[in-house]
């Protein structure tokens, strides 16, 4: 995610579902530099990434999904965190409730960066980008929020130089 060349520049880009959490803080910097090289001046880069206070509770998310007669129950939760090292471990569990594979369960463990509000601010300040807004993805109208609030479904609006 930090060493790519698409041979073009774009008017905007989007990074979904906390994908940048898969990068270490050291790996995030090259990613932002590569993304900036591919955006025209003033272009927006929308990054969905949760940021938290070091003492915030471990998060848990549950939802159901259904399509074409197949229903899933999904649980995704953090179970371990070291805020000082900016590390978090989480697990996902997807149970197939209906359909040909009913009863199957898929579970995975994930190691990601735990972005504190302070670490996020520092990473963006050291990057080519400027953060101009933050939006709450939990709300249908995606209201602007202060980054100090933190949260799990935040959209960060970054502007390319």
Same structural domain, 15 and 94: no
Position of tokens 């970054």? 158
Count structural domains, the chain: 2
Report the CATH number at residue 142.
Answer: 3.40.50.150
Q: How far apart are the first and last CA of the chain?
A: 20
Report whether 127 contacts 133 (CB < 8 A): no
CA 113/CA 75 separation, integer angstroms: 19
Q: Does residue 20 sit within a domain?
A: yes
pLDDT tens-digit readout, 9-26: 999 999 998 999 999 999
Q: 76: domain range?
A: 60-111
104 shares its domain with 29: no
Query: Do 46 and 77 sit in the same domain of this protein?
Result: no
pLDDT tens profile 74-101: 999 999 999 999 999 999 999 999 999 9
Q: Which CATH number goes with the domain that contains 69?
A: 2.20.130
pLDDT of residue 80: 97
Task: Note the pLDDT tens digit of each residue in 104-151.
Answer: 999 999 999 999 999 999 999 999 999 999 999 988 899 999 888 788
- Calpha distance 43→118 (Å, rounded): 24
Residues 44-51: what's their mean pLDDT? 96
Is the pLDDT assigned to residue 46 strictly greater than 90?
yes
Residue 48 sits in the same domain as residue 121: yes
Coarse DSSP helix, strand, coil percentages of the chain, rounded to the nearest 5 percent: 20, 45, 35
């Amino acid at each position: 995610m930090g060493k790519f060349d698409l041979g073009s520049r774009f008017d905007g880009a989007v990074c979904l579902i906390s994908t940048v959490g898969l990068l270490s803080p050291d790996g995030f910097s090259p990613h932002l530099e590569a993304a900036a090289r591919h955006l025209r001046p003033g272009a927006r880069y929308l990054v969905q990434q949760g940021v938290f206070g070091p003492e915030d509770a471990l998060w848990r998310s549950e939802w159901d999904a259904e399509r074409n007669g197949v229903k899933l129950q999904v649980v995704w939760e953090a179970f371990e965190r070291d805020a000082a090292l900016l590390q978090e471990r989480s697990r996902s569990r997807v149970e197939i409730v209906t359909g040909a594979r009913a009863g199957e369960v898929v579970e995975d463990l994930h190691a990601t960066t735990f972005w504190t509000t302070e670490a996020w601010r520092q990473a963006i300040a050291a990057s080519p980008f400027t953060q101009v807004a933050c939006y709450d993805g939990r709300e249908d109208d995606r209201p602007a929020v202060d980054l100090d609030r933190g949260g799990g479904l935040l959209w960060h609006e970054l502007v390319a130089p």
